[in-house]
Amino acid sequence: MKLSLKLFLFLNIIITVSSCNSQDETRRPNIIFLMADDQASYTLGCYGNEDVKTPNIDKLSSMGVTFDHNYATTAICMASRATVMTGLLEYRTGTNFLHGPMKQETWDQSYPVLLRQAGYTTAFAGKFGFEIQKETEENAIMPEADFDAWAGGSAQTSYDTKKNKALLKYAEKYPHSTLAYGAFGSDFIKSSVQKNEPFCLSISFKAPHRPTTPDPRFNAVYKGKTFEKPGNYGREFGEHFSKQSKQGRQYPRFFDWHYNDKYDQVMATYNQQIYGIDQAVGMIIETLKKTGADKNTVIIYTSDNGFFCGSHGYGSKVLPYEESSKVPLIIYDPRHPNSNKGFRSKALTGNIDIAPTILSLAGLNSKEKIDGKNIMPLYNNPNEEIHNTMALINVWGPSETHSLSIVSKNYKYIYWGFADEGYAATEELYHLKNDPLELENVADSPKHKEYLINLQNDYDERVKSWKAKAVNYNNYRRYSALFDRSITWNEKKSFVYDLEENYKKKH
């Protein structure tokens, strides 16, 4: 009898331990989404830049899977952030500067709303980037009430911590907002762990967005540093670009922002701001370890768009070229057997994939058909593919610069439809596999004709999709005519100038 009791207790312990392990494996993970503002991929050590110091993000890369062909489908912050939250392309969110805010019904399908409905504790800090328009209200607002903890800000926010009321308690220790966001995130993690409920923390750093305001505590990091210029630096490497691309603010900013004559100084400031983000990432990772949440917390790191930094003789972003539209993406899932192996994926991914990936990690699906796909199959097998091509959109700024592009892993096709006096509709094709710096337009090359035709066909299907799926407000349906290759300029002209006049009034 005594032996039987001991055996019973032993078996009971085994069953209990097995049950606990099973629960640990199946319980929903915590999710941390971290996004920089205007950070190009080449600003990170894990993307091959030996001039910069990003130890915490590089460590994250070595622990997780790093994606080498990740794009912002619209390379400007407001539209990109709307896409990140929803998994929808810009013409389906209807959200961008000079166009309009996001409608409530679209926001209701965003990953923060759906996760909170599913029992996640949610928090947001930083630059939110767009507002929500309720049908019953005249003014658009920040969705503060849709989060359990909020330290977000409207418009471009500020680097001055004390200007964000939700961050006031951090202002003395962290007067620069980048580290204050790290402190807010750390405190949210601690409080969420105590509740023993799954949490989703989203932080959108303002850095390294202008005005250039690095944290002075890091002034020594790049003091006197000389930075190697990229192989496509300077105006001579942009002469083959379309005339249309030279009409927006990106073109004069090569000089206005002193990439031409103060390159090292400008890049030191830019990279110092990114170093601040890296330190905030380190704070969050350390807090996860201290609380024990590191074993069940997935971390995603990316940027809303890239930055030219003098490549091709351009500054800023917006245009569909690599430096502007290509952004870092790192995912770390501590539960996965492929973690801590330094895997990289060359698959095509984009900001449309963030929302469906987060929803999938939480065991959820979007309630409507979206444009993005779950990235985690690539975590299972980095050699797999989830997209053959992806659309890159710009319908912001002067009409000349509006473009629709198609990118694959190996090629990029760009169509500039504006063709008024002095302009002609222009096609560009780049063989990215052999020419990642986009130094040669091969659209007229017989050698690449088959690939040009394939991408043109893909492009035409995207225009059809635009016509069928674009929101019926903020003029998004009308843009499809500009991008339609079968329509003459005379047929497009009147609507293009209507849009241009509207832009000038709002700008």
Q: What is the pLDDT of residues 429-471, one digit of tens each?
A: 999 999 999 999 999 999 999 999 999 999 999 999 999 999 9
Domains of the chain, residue spans? 29-387, 392-506
Q: Percentage of the chain surpassing pLDDT 70?
A: 93
pLDDT score for 507: 53
When pLDDT is cut at 50, 70 and 90, the band that residue 222 belongs to is very high
pLDDT score for 357: 98
Segment 303-319 shows an average pLDDT of 98
Other C-beta atoms lying within 10 Å of the C-beta of residue 465: 16
When pLDDT is cut at 50, 70 and 90, the band that residue 500 belongs to is low
CA atoms within 13 A on the CB side of 504: 7
- Asked whether the predicted pLDDT for residue 2 surpasses 90, the reply is no
The tens digit of pLDDT for each residue in 383-434 reads 999 999 999 999 999 999 999 999 999 999 999 999 999 999 999 999 999 9
Which ranges of 292-350 would DSSP assign to H, the alpha helix? 322-325
Bridge pairing between strands 411-416 and 403-407: antiparallel
Closest listed residue to residue 44, CA positions, set 31, 59, 32: 59
Contact 300, 269 (CB under 8 A): no
Higher pLDDT residue, 436 or 481?
436
When pLDDT is cut at 50, 70 and 90, the band that residue 375 belongs to is very high
pTM of the model: 0.93
CATH T-level assignment (fold) for domain 29-387: Alkaline Phosphatase, subunit A (3.40.720)
Strand residue runs (E) in 194-280: 199-204
pLDDT score for 34: 98
Higher pLDDT residue, 22 or 70?
70
When pLDDT is cut at 50, 70 and 90, the band that residue 112 belongs to is very high
Considering just the CA atoms, what is the radius of gyration of the chain in Å? Answer: 24
When pLDDT is cut at 50, 70 and 90, the band that residue 367 belongs to is confident
Structure tokens at 215: 């944290």
**Coil, strand, or helix at residue 430?**
strand
Range 392-506 has CATH code 3.90.950.20: no
Contact 204, 127 (CB under 8 A): yes
Closest listed residue to residue 284, CA positions, set 269, 303, 266, 297: 297
- Asked whether the predicted pLDDT for residue 23 surpasses 70, the reply is no
Contact 172, 183 (CB under 8 A): no
Contact 507, 130 (CB under 8 A): no
- Asked whether the predicted pLDDT for residue 26 surpasses 70, the reply is no
Contact 108, 80 (CB under 8 A): no
When pLDDT is cut at 50, 70 and 90, the band that residue 505 belongs to is low
- Asked whether the predicted pLDDT for residue 257 surpasses 60, the reply is yes
Which of 42-56, 107-121, 433-447, 481-495 has the weakest average pLDDT?
A: 481-495
Q: Which sign does the torsion angle of CA 376, 377, 383, 385 carry?
A: negative
